[in-house]
């Protein structure tokens, strides 16, 4: 298992960060490792981002004792999973859920044994997971693309034509604080989340996928009046502190999974930035 803790940051400090410091604090460079679990615990709302890639053998989710001091991972946590690889299965206390690419599974607090497997070891499932502290148990539930709430946004002329698929949200799969889904850009569009926004009530993590290996996204972060960029490639993730914008322009179309945790679960509770204020 590959694991790491990152601490929360102050916007005044981040203004002084070099490219390397920005990447060290916010970028998750290697999320998916064959046959491995990767786990990154951020102190921004104590969200844990994991990647699980079972190849020949199934992989069990351990408690990660030094992060959680719990006897099993979901003793005080909930988690949301979206598969971005080949077909796979998640077994939750003996109940099997098959997940095709882009399908979602929410697992509520209190599930003791969680196991991940792939249908074919040479085309492994790649489970992208976000977990946050939970105070009560909501039912474990699968979501297929048809179950997701679709929101079409943007336009061809603005190069930001995209569809948001909401899985774990107030009118969909229920959770304590996790909100999660993915956004797909239409071919020819490159901008996500533009115009950008902040939401002091929630932090957010973006995981970019379905991006050609030789392409990239310039992901924007920072306060609206002091922005910075990070270069992200396929299957990399980036932490967005609650005070930061999170938006990006790619050299081609791509998709990304967004996940939020914090004070509320209101997807539309955003403070939109005026383009004339962005620096």
Ligand X SMILES: O=C(O)C(=O)C[C@H](O)C(=O)CO
Residue ranges of the binding site for Zn(2+): 197, 199, 204, 246
Where does this chain bind ligand X (CB under 6 A)? 153, 162, 164, 183, 192-193, 204, 246, 258, 260, 270
Residue (116 or 207) nearer to Zn ion, CB: 207
Residue (126 or 204) nearer to ligand X, CB: 204
Q: Shortest approach of Zn ion to residue 16 CB, angstroms?
A: 25
Residue 13, classed as helix, strand or coil, is: helix
Q: Shortest approach of ligand X to residue 31 CB, angstroms?
A: 18
Q: Supply 219's token pair.
A: 């992901």
What's the first-to-final CA gap in the chain, in angstroms? 40
Residue (140 or 255) nearer to ligand X, CB: 255
Rg of the chain taking only CA atoms, in angstroms? 18
Residue (5 or 200) nearer to ligand X, CB: 200
Characterize 59-98 residue by residue with b for buried, 16 or more Cβ atoms within 10 angstroms of its Cβ, and e for exposed: bebeebeebbeeebbbeebbbbbbbbbbbbbbebeeeebe
Choose one: 17-25, 48-56, 61-69, 200-208; the region binding Zn ion (CB under 5 A).
Answer: 200-208
Q: Shortest approach of ligand X to residue 239 CB, angstroms?
A: 13
The listed partner (Zn ion, ligand X, none) that binds 183, CB under 5 to 8 Å by sort, is ligand X
Closest residue to ligand X in the complex (CB): 183
Residue (37 or 260) nearer to ligand X, CB: 260
Q: Please report, in range form, the residues annotated as the binding site.
A: 197, 199, 204, 246
| Residue with token string 């940051």 | 9
Torsion of CA 106, 264, 49, 162, to 10 degrees: 80
In terms of Cβ atoms closer than 10 Å to its own Cβ (0-12, 13-18, 19+), residue 122 is: exposed
Q: Shortest approach of ligand X to residue 67 CB, angstroms?
A: 25
| Opening angle at CA 33, ends 31 and 39, nearest 5 | 45
Q: Shortest approach of ligand X to residue 261 CB, angstroms?
A: 12
The number of residues in the chain equals 279
The listed partner (ligand X, Zn ion, none) that binds 9, CB under 5 to 8 Å by sort, is none
In terms of Cβ atoms closer than 10 Å to its own Cβ (0-12, 13-18, 19+), residue 266 is: middle
Choose one: 4-12, 62-70, 197-205, 247-255; the region binding Zn ion (CB under 5 A).
Answer: 197-205
Q: Shortest approach of ligand X to residue 55 CB, angstroms?
A: 31
Choose one: 78-86, 146-154, 199-207, 209-217; the region binding Zn ion (CB under 5 A).
Answer: 199-207
Reported as half-sphere exposure (CB side, CA atoms, 13 A), residue 210 has a value of: 17
Residue (38 or 192) nearer to ligand X, CB: 192
Binding site for Zn ion (CB under 5 A): 204
């Amino acid at each position: 298992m590959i694991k790491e803790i990152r601490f929360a940051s102050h916007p005044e400090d981040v203004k002084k960060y070099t490219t390397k410091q920005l990447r060290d604090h916010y970028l998750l460079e290697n999320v998916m490792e064959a046959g491995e679990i990767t786990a990154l615990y951020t102190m921004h709302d104590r969200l844990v981002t994991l990647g699980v890639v079972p190849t020949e053998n199934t992989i069990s989710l351990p408690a990660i004792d030094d992060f959680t001091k719990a006897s099993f991972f979901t003793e005080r946590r909930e988690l949301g999973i979206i598969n971005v690889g080949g077909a796979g299965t998640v077994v939750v206390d003996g109940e099997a859920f098959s997940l095709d690419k882009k399908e979602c599974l929410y697992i509520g607090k209190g599930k003791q044994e969680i196991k991940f497997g792939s249908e074919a070891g040479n085309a492994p499932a790649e489970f992208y997971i976000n977990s946050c502290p939970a105070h009560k148990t909501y039912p474990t539930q699968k979501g297929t693309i048809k179950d997701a709430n679709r929101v079409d946004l943007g336009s061809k002329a603005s190069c930001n034509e995209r569809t948001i698929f909401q899985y774990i949200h107030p009118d969909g799969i229920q959770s304590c604080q996790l909100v999660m889904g993915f956004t797909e850009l239409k071919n020819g569009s490159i901008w996500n989340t533009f115009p950008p926004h902040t939401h002091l009530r929630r932090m957010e993590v973006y995981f970019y996928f379905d991006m050609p290996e030789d392409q990239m996204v310039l992901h924007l972060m920072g306060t609206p009046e002091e922005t910075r960029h990070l270069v992200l490639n396929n299957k990399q993730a980036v932490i967005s502190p609650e005070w930061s914008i999170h938006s990006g322009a790619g050299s081609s179309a791509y998709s990304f999974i967004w996940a939020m945790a914090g004070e509320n679960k209101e997807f539309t509770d955003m403070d939109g930035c005026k383009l004339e204020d962005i620096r």
